[in-house]
Chain A
Amino acid sequence: MTGLAIDYTTLLPALLPVAGLVLVLVADLVNPRLRRVPYAVAALAALGAAVATVPGLVLGGGTTRETFCLTGRTAASASAPTVDGLPQVCLWQADALGSTLQLAAAVSAVVCIALAWPRTRRRRPPDSTREPVEAVLLLAALAGTIVVAASRDVGTWLVALELATLPVIALVALSGRRSAVAGATQLLVTSLVSFALLVLGVALWFAATGSPFLTPDAALSSGGAFSAASGAPTSVVFPSVSGGVVALATVLVVAGVGFKLSLVPFHAWTPTAYAGSSVPVATFLATVSKIAALAALLVVLRAVAALGTPALVSIALLASLSMTLGNVMALRQDDVVRLLAWSTVAQAGWVVLPLVSISALGVSASATYLLTYVVATLVAFAVVAVTLRDQPGEGRSIAAYEGLWQRSPWRAGALALALTSLAGLPPGIIGLVGKITALRPVVAEGWVWLAVVAAVNAVIGVAVYLRWLRAVITAPDVVAGAGTEGAAPAPVAVARRRPVMVAGLVLASAVLVVVSVQPDLLLRLLG
C-alpha cells in the first residue's frame, strides 16, 4: 500500500466524537464522580461533528471529500488497477448524501444528549457515577454511524456498523429497569444474527467481485456487468456466476441491515427494546441507529446501482410487510413509546420503499424519507421525554396527553407538527413531501400494486397518529364530560427546571418547522 494519504480535516466528523470519548474517559479517571461534565463534553463533541460535516454539504455537484486514498505509483492512471491489484480507490468518501446523513446523526445525537441531561437533584453515589459511561457509549455509537456513512471498504464498513450498534445495547441495558435487560438481550441476540448475515453477505460480495471495496467500480468488475465492461481486465474467474452472487450478497446485506432498521420480519426486538429503555435511549435507537443502518445499506446499494440491477422484489415485500404490520400494531397501542416503536417499524417500510428502484433516484429518495422521519420522530420523542419528566408516573399513556393543548400550547404544537409530519398531512408539509419523494421511484418503476399498498398504509398511518393527536387537542372538560374520570389530568404540573431538555426540544422543533416551510432546504442537501 503505497502512499496512503490521510486528510485529517476530512476526517474531523469522525475524529471529534472519538476525541470527546477519550476526553470523557480521562476526566472519569481523574474524578469518577462527575455528572454533567461528561455530557457537556459529549454534546460539544457531537456539535463539533455536526459543524465538521458542513464543508461536505456545500460541495454539491457530485464532488466528494475523500481521504485514505490508495494511490498507485502513477497518480495519473485514475481508474487503472495499481500494482497491488487494487484499483485506485479512497476508503473514506463523504459526498453530499453521506455528509447529510452524518449531519443528521450528529444533530440527533445532540438532541438525545440534551434529553438525557442528568438531573442535579439526585444524590451523588459514593463511589462513581454512571454518566461518563453513558456519554462514552453515546459517542462511540455516534462515531460508528459517522464512519459507516463514509466507509467504502468492507472491513471499515462492518466494524463501523457494529460500533454503531453494540454501544446502544449497553445503553439499553444501563437504563436500569428490569424490562431494559430483556430489551437489551433481545437486541443483542438480534444484532448477532444480523452481524452473521452481514458478514456472509460481505463474504459473498468479496467472492463475486474479488474486491474489498464497496464501490461501483468494484461492482462493475463482477460478472453482473461483464458484457458492458468486456475488455476491461477483471479479476473474476466465473463471470456468469458472480452476477447472481452479487445479487445474493445484496439480499443478505438487506436482511442484515433489516434487523437494525427493524423491518418486518426482523422487527421483533423493537417494541421490547424501546419500551424497556429510557426515553432518551429509545430516541437514540429510533434516530441515530436508524441513520447508521440506512447509511450502511445505501453504501452497498449505491455500489450495486452501477450494475443497473432490476428492482428487487424482496425489498418491495419487506417494505409492504413492514408498513402494514407496523401500522396495524401501532393502532392498538396505548403506550406512546410502544406506539412510536411500532410506528418506527412502519416508517422503516416507507424508508426502504423507494429502494425498489436501485438507482440514484431511489437512493436519494430513501435518504430524504429517512431524514423527514428522523426529524419528526426526534420531536415526538422529545415531547414524550419532557412530558414524562412532568408526570413521571403516567406520562407514557396516550391519556396523559389529554388537554396538552390547554396546558402547554407550545409543546402541544410541536407534537402536533411532529405527528402530522409522520402521518404525512399538512401542516407537517415535510412529511407530505417525504411521501411524494418516496412514491416517485416506485411509480418510475411502474409498480402499481406497491404504490396502492403504500396508499392504503398512508391511510392506516393517519389513523395511528390522529389517535394520539386527538388526545392532544381534546379539552379536558370534554373528557370529564364524557365520563372518563381516571384520566383527569393533574391540576397544574409543577414546572420543574429542565432548561437543557427543553433546549433539545426547541432545537428539534426548529429544524422541523424550518424544513416544513421550505422543504427544499432538506431535499437539496442530498444533492
Chain B
Amino acid sequence: MALTLMLLLPLLAAIALIAIPGESTVERGIALGSTVATAVLAVVVVWGRHEVDVPWIRSLGVRWHFGVDGISAALVLLTALLTVAVVAHALSGPIPRGGTGSTFLGCILLVEAGALATFMARDAILFFIAFEVVLVPMWVLVRRFGDDHVRDETRADAAGRFVLFTVLGSTLMLVGILFLVHHQGTSDLTVLAERHGVGLSRPLQVAIAAILLLGLGIKVPLWPLHTWLPSAHTIAPTAGSVLLAAVLLKMGTYGIVRLAVGTVPAGVAQLSPVLAILGVVGILWGGLACLVERDLKRLIAYSSVAHMGFVALAIASGSETGLQAALFGNIAHGVVAALLFFVVGDLKEQWGSSDLHVARAALRDKAPRFGLALVVGLAAALGLPGLVSFWGEFLALYAAWSPAPDRPVALLRVCVVLGAVGLALAAAYALRVARIVWAGEGSDAAEGPAGEPVADARGARWAVVMTLVVVIVTLGLLPHLLLGLSDAATSGLLSGLGVSR
C-alpha cells in the first residue's frame, strides 16, 4: 500500500501540476508536499521492505510487481531524498525561462516517479516501461528549460541527442529483455536471478549479455557511447543536471547489475574484459577531457564519465566486493555530482556562463559558503579518503585487482593500474578547478560584471548544499552504513541463491 502510494503520489502530483495553467502558489505547495511525502514513504518502504504484486498486462505476462531489496534500497532513498532537495532548490530561486513553473516542477516529479519505479520494478518488462518514463519529462526539461544563453539550435541538439541516444539504448535493452524472457519463459526478475542463467546455452548468454550491456551502456554511459552526456548536462537547468547525474545515470549501472549480472552470469563473465577496458578508457578519457575543458558544467559532466568508469570496472571484476563497490560508487557519485551541479548551477546562474577562461572574482574571499561546498565537492570527486567517493573507487580498484576466479586477472590488473592513473588525473583537474574558481587564479584581471563577487548561498539553497556536504562526510567516515544495506543482496545475486529482501 505504502509502496503503490509512493509511486503514484509523484505521478498524480505531476499530472496535477502540468494541468494547472500559468503561475500560482498552489503549485509550490503541491510540489514540495508531494516530494516530502514521497520521501517519507520511501523511508517507510525501504525500512519495511514492502512489496506489491498484482497482475497488470495479463496477455504479456507483465505484473505490477514492485519491491525493495538490498540492491535497490539505497538508490530508492537517494532518488526520493534528492528530489526533495531539487524541488527545494528550484523553489528558492527563479524558475528557468521557457515555460511555467508548474510544468517545470511537474517534469521533475515525473522523473522522480519513473526513476523510483525503475529501481523497484521486479519484472523485466515493467523495468523497461519504467525506464522509458523519465525520457519525455527530461527531454522537456532540457529542451524548454535549458540554458537560455545559448542558441535554440544548441538546446535542440542537446535535448535531441539525449533522448535519441537513450531511446536507442533502451530499445536495444528491450530486445535483450525479450530474448531473455522468451528463452526463460518468465519476466519475473526474482525468478530470473534465481535461475542464474541455467537453461541458456553459453553463446546465447553472451549474445543476450552483449545486447543488454550495449543498451544499458549508452545510459551509464560507457566510453564510446557517452557523447550525449556532456551537452545534455551543460544545457540542462540545475534541477535537470542534478537529476541526470544523480539519478538517471544510476539507472544504467543498476540495470546492468539487476538485468545482466543476475540473469546471464556466464555472458557477463565472458564480456567482462570489454566492460573493464571501456570503463578504464572512460576513466582516462574523462580525466583528460577535464584537464582541458573550458566550460565548468561540461567539465563536471566529463568527470561523471570517469566516475561511472570506476563503477563499470567494479562490475567487471565479478566479485562480491566488486558489486558492493559498484553500488557504493553509484550512490557516492550521485551525492557528489548532485552537490557539484547544485553549486556550479548556482554559479552559472549568476555568472551567465560557466567559462573557466573568463577571469572572475575568487570564491574564497567573496562567497565562502559556495567556496566551501565547491571544495568539498571537488575533494570528494578526486577521491580523498574520508569522503564518500573514496570508498567507491578504492573498493573498485581493490576488487578488480583480485577478481572472481573466472575473470582475466592480468588484464584487470592492468586496468587497475590505469585506473589509478585516472585517480591522479582526477586530482589534477579538481585542483585546476579549485585554483581557478576557488583560489581565484588570475582574478586580478577580472573586469566589468565578471569582477563582481557572486551573492553567496543562503536560505534553502544553502541548507540543501550543506546537507549534501554532511552526507558526503558522514558516509565517508562510516561507509558500513551503506555497505551493510547491500551486503546480503549482492552475495545472493552473484551466487544465484536469490536476492534476500
Question: Which A residues fall within an 8 A CB radius of B?
Answer: 409, 413, 420, 425-427, 429, 432-433, 435-437, 439-440, 443-444, 448, 451-452, 454-456, 458-459, 462-463, 466, 470, 473-475, 478, 482, 519-520, 523-524, 526
Instruction: Give the residues in chain A near B175, CB-CB below 8 Å.
Output: 439, 443, 448, 451-452, 454-455
Partner of A444, one of B129, B163, B182, B207: B182
- When C-beta atoms are compared, the residue in chain B nearest to A444 turns out to be B182
Tell me the chain B residues, 107-155 only, with Cβ under 8 Å from chain A: 114, 125, 128-129, 132-133, 135-136, 139-140, 143-144, 152
Partner of B160, one of A409, A440, A451, A463: A463
What are some 24 contacts across the A-B interface (CB < 8 A)? A413-B19, A426-B133, A426-B135, A427-B136, A433-B57, A433-B129, A436-B125, A439-B174, A439-B178, A440-B182, A443-B179, A452-B172, A454-B175, A455-B175, A459-B168, A462-B163, A462-B164, A466-B139, A470-B143, A473-B143, A473-B144, A478-B98, A524-B58, A524-B59
Q: A440 and B132 in contact (CB under 8 A), knowing A425-B167, A459-B167?
A: no
Q: A426 and B136 in contact (CB under 8 A), knowing A409-B21, A458-B167, A459-B164?
A: yes
**A455, B174: Cβ atoms under 8 Å?**
yes
Instruction: Give the residues in chain A near B174, CB-CB below 8 Å.
Output: 435-436, 439, 455
Instruction: Give the residues in chain A near B55, CB-CB below 8 Å.
Output: 520
| Residue B60 is within 8 A (CB to CB) of chain A in the complex | yes
A458 to B174, CA, bound (A): 11
A420 to B172, CA, bound (A): 19
A459 to B228, CA, bound (A): 14
A436 to B164, CA, bound (A): 18
CB distance from A434 to the nearest CB of B (A): 11
- When C-beta atoms are compared, the residue in chain B nearest to A525 turns out to be B59
A216 to B16, CA, bound (A): 52
CB distance from A348 to the nearest CB of B (A): 19
Partner of B182, one of A426, A443, A448, A456: A443
The 10 closest A-B pairs by CB, nearest first: A523-B59, A455-B171, A443-B178, A426-B133, A451-B175, A458-B171, A459-B168, A482-B152, A520-B57, A462-B167
CB distance from B463 to the nearest CB of A (A): 31
Instruction: Give the residues in chain B near A474, CB-CB below 8 Å.
Output: 144
Q: Mark B169-200, 1 if CB is under 8 A from A, else 0.
A: 00110110011001000000000000000000
Partner of B156, one of A432, A454, A459, A470: A470
A456 to B139, CA, bound (A): 19
CB distance from A480 to the nearest CB of B (A): 12
Instruction: Give the residues in chain B near A482, CB-CB below 8 Å.
Output: 152
CB distance from B347 to the nearest CB of A (A): 24
Instruction: Give the residues in chain A near B129, CB-CB below 8 Å.
Output: 426, 429, 432-433
Q: A425 and B156 in contact (CB under 8 A), knowing A432-B129, A459-B168, A473-B144?
A: no
Instruction: Give the residues in chain A near B203, CB-CB below 8 Å.
Output: none
| Residue B99 is within 8 A (CB to CB) of chain A in the complex | yes
What 14 new A-B contacts, CB under 8 Å, besides A427-B136, A439-B178, A523-B58? A409-B21, A420-B136, A426-B136, A427-B133, A435-B174, A440-B182, A443-B179, A448-B175, A452-B175, A459-B171, A463-B160, A473-B143, A478-B97, A520-B55
CB distance from B109 to the nearest CB of A (A): 13
A429, A435, A454, A478 interface centre (most CB from chain B within 10 Å): A478
- When C-beta atoms are compared, the residue in chain B nearest to A475 turns out to be B99
A453 to B99, CA, bound (A): 36
**A520, B59: Cβ atoms under 8 Å?**
yes
A488 to B160, CA, bound (A): 24
A371 to B78, CA, bound (A): 40
Instruction: Give the residues in chain A near B59, CB-CB below 8 Å.
Output: 520, 523-524, 526
Instruction: Give the residues in chain B near A429, CB-CB below 8 Å.
Output: 129
Q: Looking at chain B's contact residues, is the secondary structure mostly helix, strand, loop, or mixed?
A: helix
A451 to B139, CA, bound (A): 25
B139, B164, B171, B207 interface centre (most CB from chain A within 10 Å): B171
CB distance from B496 to the nearest CB of A (A): 24
- When C-beta atoms are compared, the residue in chain A nearest to B100 turns out to be A475
CB distance from B3 to the nearest CB of A (A): 19
- When C-beta atoms are compared, the residue in chain A nearest to B98 turns out to be A478
Instruction: Give the residues in chain A near B144, CB-CB below 8 Å.
Output: 473-475, 478
A463 to B58, CA, bound (A): 31
A432 to B103, CA, bound (A): 23
A129 to B481, CA, bound (A): 80
**B128, A436: Cβ atoms under 8 Å?**
yes
A455 to B103, CA, bound (A): 30
**B57, A466: Cβ atoms under 8 Å?**
no
Instruction: Give the residues in chain B near A523, CB-CB below 8 Å.
Output: 57-60
Instruction: Give the residues in chain A near B207, CB-CB below 8 Å.
Output: 448
- When C-beta atoms are compared, the residue in chain A nearest to B165 turns out to be A459
Q: A466 and B160 in contact (CB under 8 A), knowing A478-B98, A482-B152?
A: yes
Q: Mark B19-39, 1 if CB is under 8 A from A, else 0.
A: 101000000000000000000
Q: A437 and B167 in contact (CB under 8 A), knowing A455-B172, A473-B144?
A: no
**B114, A426: Cβ atoms under 8 Å?**
yes
A448 to B174, CA, bound (A): 12
B21, B97, B175, B182 interface centre (most CB from chain A within 10 Å): B175
B19, B56, B129 interface centre (most CB from chain A within 10 Å): B129
Instruction: Give the residues in chain A near B172, CB-CB below 8 Å.
Output: 452, 455
**A440, B178: Cβ atoms under 8 Å?**
yes
CB distance from A426 to the nearest CB of B (A): 4
A216 to B172, CA, bound (A): 36
**B167, A473: Cβ atoms under 8 Å?**
no
A443 to B176, CA, bound (A): 9
Instruction: Give the residues in chain A near B168, CB-CB below 8 Å.
Output: 455-456, 458-459
CB distance from A60 to the nearest CB of B (A): 12
CB distance from B19 to the nearest CB of A (A): 7
Instruction: Give the residues in chain B near A437, CB-CB below 8 Å.
Output: 60
- When C-beta atoms are compared, the residue in chain B nearest to A460 turns out to be B164
Instruction: Give the residues in chain A near B171, CB-CB below 8 Å.
Output: 435, 454-455, 458-459
CB distance from A487 to the nearest CB of B (A): 12
CB distance from A483 to the nearest CB of B (A): 9
Tell me the chain B residues, 444-500 only, with Cβ under 8 Å from chain A: none
- When C-beta atoms are compared, the residue in chain A nearest to B156 turns out to be A470
Instruction: Give the residues in chain B near A451, CB-CB below 8 Å.
Output: 175, 178
A454 to B178, CA, bound (A): 13
Instruction: Give the residues in chain B near A452, CB-CB below 8 Å.
Output: 172, 175
A475 to B99, CA, bound (A): 6
- When C-beta atoms are compared, the residue in chain A nearest to B175 turns out to be A451
A427 to B129, CA, bound (A): 10
CB distance from B118 to the nearest CB of A (A): 11
Q: A519 and B57 in contact (CB under 8 A), knowing A425-B167, A435-B174, A462-B167?
A: yes
Instruction: Give the residues in chain A near B156, CB-CB below 8 Å.
Output: 470
**B60, A466: Cβ atoms under 8 Å?**
no
Partner of B164, one of A435, A440, A444, A463: A463
Instruction: Give the residues in chain B near A470, CB-CB below 8 Å.
Output: 143, 156
Partner of B132, one of A413, A432, A463, A473: A432
- When C-beta atoms are compared, the residue in chain B nearest to A439 turns out to be B178
- When C-beta atoms are compared, the residue in chain A nearest to B131 turns out to be A426
**A520, B167: Cβ atoms under 8 Å?**
no
A524 to B207, CA, bound (A): 32
Instruction: Give the residues in chain A near B99, CB-CB below 8 Å.
Output: 473, 475, 478
Instruction: Give the residues in chain B near A433, CB-CB below 8 Å.
Output: 57, 60, 129
A463 to B135, CA, bound (A): 13
**B178, A436: Cβ atoms under 8 Å?**
yes
**A426, B21: Cβ atoms under 8 Å?**
no
**A425, B136: Cβ atoms under 8 Å?**
yes
Instruction: Give the residues in chain A near B178, CB-CB below 8 Å.
Output: 436, 439-440, 443, 451
Instruction: Give the residues in chain B near A463, CB-CB below 8 Å.
Output: 160, 164
CB distance from B55 to the nearest CB of A (A): 8
A200 to B173, CA, bound (A): 42
Instruction: Give the residues in chain A near B21, CB-CB below 8 Å.
Output: 409
A420, A426, A454, A520 interface centre (most CB from chain B within 10 Å): A426
CB distance from A376 to the nearest CB of B (A): 15
**B56, A520: Cβ atoms under 8 Å?**
yes
